[in-house]
Structure 1
């Protein structure tokens, strides 16, 4: 295809992403299913079947920002408190899942070589906490469950991709146990060391940059600077990106000014959404090639293999949580850990949805091995896609029902923490207003205006903290009503600003300055009730 054809195809993929997310919301269909279906539909358009996505593009364009973003927004304090169960899941369960999936694949598809089967296991072993966390936060699941899932998702990507890299290497060059161990040490140690160096250099440079746009560009290129050179040097680019993201995420508040953080968060949320969605559309585009590549297998064998791989992916995790995790309380010394109540363990076990990372790893399988075509590639992609879609739909839609059936009590800890913090912040603001007024640095009218505003916020937050179970709905209603009022006031100000700009009463620079102020003040939840 010509370059202009690829540009048009890329534009069509982006439009498909927008249409898919809109339709998924309206029809209440999982985003992944809608995007794969639309990707398959547009593959019938002229020229679209000739679109081939290079595995190198998937590795170099999609993986670095997705992994870096997950590490950047992790919660280090909470993860440190749950470090043992997180590591047990992220390392132990991920490796067990990978080899179990590899074993069942090799048994049902005996023509598949062991390295290829392990590559599939490594691709679908890591879980994606984004989908499960969205559901669990909405229903008020225990904080510990969310911490364990998010911490596991951060580490298991690095474990799985390191195993995947070794498996792909073994496809071409058979590795002895000693050579494999040496390669593993080099890959892991080199990735961690290089990621640390990049994090320190980015921290040093950000402190010396004054322009917000330049700081945002540095944020966007950091995952690629961490990932690509590490891979070129034979280290783990994934671990380098994870280490850089984790380090910078825990220190970002002191490096970036508030305006850049607000803009950067919006940009990163949009970028991650686009990358994840494009991956599912690309899978749909490649379904023709994948299905034709597996046409040599009997349909019954193919379906049986897919069902078996899905079942192993789900059951290994459940068995690990329900029966293996309790044994850890009997381990000696520092290895001993509290597995938590059985209800929480079941929730964690059922929250093993696979997502965009697994899909990206599968799509990055090489086209050739040595001098020949990699004949198992389409079968492995088919099986990986089956696991991703089955877990996103099956487990994702049944997770709320499971929580209700188990009778897991809802937690309001986050809401209480926010309310308590708002009380303390409001009091600090009131104290500072009085100090400035006593020093004659502000006038009485301005001080009283801001004093009343902060008194109201403190009063609302205290009411939410002090409300009993029977009063809590009424207190939350008042807080939501106040947010709705702030939204309506901001909307009225925005309409007035637009009228002034359209009428020529103010210039573009003044318009943009005031618009940014309104954007920062916009309440997060504008609807009453």
Structure 2
């Protein structure tokens, strides 16, 4: 069959799975995984063998960038300790534990190769988990932790895999492994930050949407390739570049750029995520054929896969509950200490004299930091990670595309390579179908709720009202409503005031002195109002006084209105 026909069929399956998933409540990627397995066993269907480099160096950077560019930096900062524990410490613990067990079960494999497989099956894939979590309205903090873990743990696992594979060819000390991890992580962050800041600076100065979109698609590889060339983690570089772009793009890019980026990357992410899960299913038949000729065959690989699945699940549950218990105590102490000292400190700051410009600026900065700490305290107080959240995070430890691609990257010199690849695939498919398929039921049983759709809409409307009030305040300032020394037309002020009260349309009085002058005044004043509204939104985002969902929703409202008004 022609590749073009296969591509069309794949797209049709992806769209069909997405529609079926919305109607049935089952994650569409799980539907495609099952469909892929079924198609792979059809008579006459050719074996599928995708080179792992295509996934690790071609698809993974795009997926990570599309996810990280939409992650709220405030959410990442507030959940950093939880994310770091899950994506670094848990990956190392899981890799070593799996390696030692595998070494005991298969002595001829070697400890380094066994730990390499442990690194392969240690990272989680949050695609199915987060899609279910968002659809069922889970708390935004829980979704942020799962997304953050999936962004960073791929880097930890791949760096550990690289060190373990190197150890199979010669002696590598524990200090060398630790040093390589620190070097790869630090340099990856540095390269990603540089790429993020430079590309944002360049794109902010380009007005052509086609050109800036082209640059956007190149950013993941601009970060990934140099990082890998210098021995750093390309995955971490991509994530860092995405976080910088998402954070700074809100204030540096034009509205039409942000709208275009959101649509383009959502499309890329949708197609690649679903295509990869379909490919995972298609490859199963060929993997089983390869293992059939090895010692132990498929039954041994299946048994080993189930044993390792049980091990990684138990380790994850133990680690998550211990870590979340520690974080709960730590956050409660932080909130209590903050509540105890914050009011008295604020009183002292407000009472302090501020006569010079430098003193006024310094006092304003201290008060702003206090507001930020208050918002953090409110966040930890209202969205603590209790046992229910810990249980859902533990259950959401599905393995996915990185596990399979990393397994296929194992060198041919490793003994039982085909068996190990099939074992990794079994761990991935059992966790995806078993835990991913039952995750909605687990969420319902734990009775976790993010407050409901009405609460989210109320918060969004509250933020939108605050933004609109800041914009309308421009019209109440006589200095702001004077253009070239001439006061603005009252009809223009009235029309803009109605517009920012969400009126259906802006109407100018027919008896205005000059229609051209009125339109020009409206455009200038509207620009001032939009700048004020956006500054108010960015201030709310920096302080973290509203959820990332409300910030994103209001950002889209402002972007759409700005783009529409600019076009008119």
Task: Settle same-fold status: TM greater than 0.5.
Answer: yes
| Whole-Å separation in 2 of the counterparts to 1:441 and 1:119 | 72
Query: What is aligned with 2:412?
Result: 368
1:261 to 255, 258, 261: 258
Aligned twin of 1:201: 198
Q: Normalised by the size of structure 1, how large is the TM-score?
A: 0.74
Q: 2:459 aligns with which of 417, 421, 424?
A: 417
Q: Is the 8 A contact 1:72 1:245 kept in 2?
A: yes
CA distance in 1, matches of 2:170, 2:20: 46
* Cα separation, partners in 2 of 1:303 and 1:330, compared to 1, 3 Å: same
CA deviation after TM superposition for structure 1 residue 267, in Å: 1.1
Q: Return the offset for 1:330.
A: 8.2
- Residue number in structure 2 paired with 1:189: 186
Aligned equivalent of 1:123, options 120, 124, 129: 120
User: After superposition, what is the alpha-carbon deviation per residue over 1:239-286, rounded to whole angstroms, capped at 9, x for unaligned?
Assistant: 211221122221111232111211111111111121122212222332
What's the CA shift string for 1:68-124, capped at 9, x where partnerless? 222222222233223323322222122112222333333334443433332332233
1:173/1:322 CA distance change after superposition, 3 Å: same
- 2:399 corresponds, among 344, 350, 354, to 354
Instruction: Tell me what 2:352 maps to.
Output: none
Paired position in structure 2 for 1:455: 501
Deviation of 1:229 after TM superposition, in Å, equals 2.4
Aligned to 1:141, what secondary structure does the other structure show?
coil
Match of 1:234 in 2: 231
Q: Which residue of 2 aligns with 1:496?
A: none
Structure 2 residues without counterparts, runs of 5 or longer: 337-379, 505-560
Inter-partner Cα distance in structure 2 for 1:449 and 1:150: 43
* Pairing 1:69–2:114 present: no
User: 1-side partners of 2:312 and 2:103: how far apart?
Assistant: 15
Pairwise CA distance, 1:428: 3.4
Change (3 A) 1:344 1:292: same
The verdict on how the C-alpha distance between 1:33 and 1:100 changes in structure 2, with shifts beyond 3 A counting, is same
Query: Are the aligned partners of 2:30 and 2:437 in contact in 1 as well (CA < 8 Å)?
Result: no
Contact 1:127–1:353 (CA<8 Å) still a contact in 2?
yes
Take 1:260 and 1:210, find their aligned partners in 2: how far apart are those partners?
8
Task: Give the structure 2 partner of residue 313 of structure 1.
Answer: 312
Equivalent in the alignment of 1:282: 279
Query: Alignment length, in residue pairs?
Result: 455
Whether contact under 8 Å (2:98, 2:311) holds in the other structure is: yes
Deviation string, structure 1 residues 380-404 (Cα, Å, up to 9, x no partner): 3323332333223333343343344
| Distance of 1:427 and 1:329 partners within structure 2 | 37
State the partner residue of 1:345.
Answer: 390
TM-score (norm: length of structure 2): 0.70
| 1:335 CA drift (Å) | 12
Q: How many Å separate the matches in 2 of 1:456 and 1:28?
A: 35
Residue 167 (structure 2) aligns with: 170
Further displaced range: 267-276 or 91-100: 91-100
Is 1:224 matched with 2:268?
Answer: no
SS of the equivalent of 2:124 reads coil
Is residue 289–residue 378 contact of structure 1 (8 Å, CA) maintained in 2? no
Gaps of 5+ in 1: 459-513, 522-529
Confirm or deny: 8 A CA contact 1:55 1:366 kept in the other structure. no
Q: Aligned to 1:56, what secondary structure does the other structure show?
A: helix
Question: What is the distance in 1 between the residues matched to 2:425 and 2:298?
Answer: 16
Shift of 1:290: 0.4
Mapped to 2, the partners of 1:308 and 1:286 lie a distance apart of: 22
Q: How far apart, CA to CA, are the structure 1 residues paired with 2:390 and 2:179?
A: 35
Q: Are the structure 2 counterparts of residues 327 and 433 from structure 1 closer, same or farther at C-alpha, using a change threshold of 3 Å?
A: closer
| Cα distance in structure 1, aligned partners of 2:131 and 2:310 | 24
- Aligned counterparts of 1:31 and 1:77: Cα–Cα separation in 2: 29
1:12, 1:110 → 2: CA distance? 45
Matches of 2:196 and 2:449, distance apart in 1: 40
- Alignment CA distance shift 1:415-1:123 (3 Å): farther
RMSD: 3.7
Q: Which residue of 2 aligns with 1:473?
A: none
Shift of 1:136: 2.9
Whether contact under 8 Å (2:119, 2:157) holds in the other structure is yes
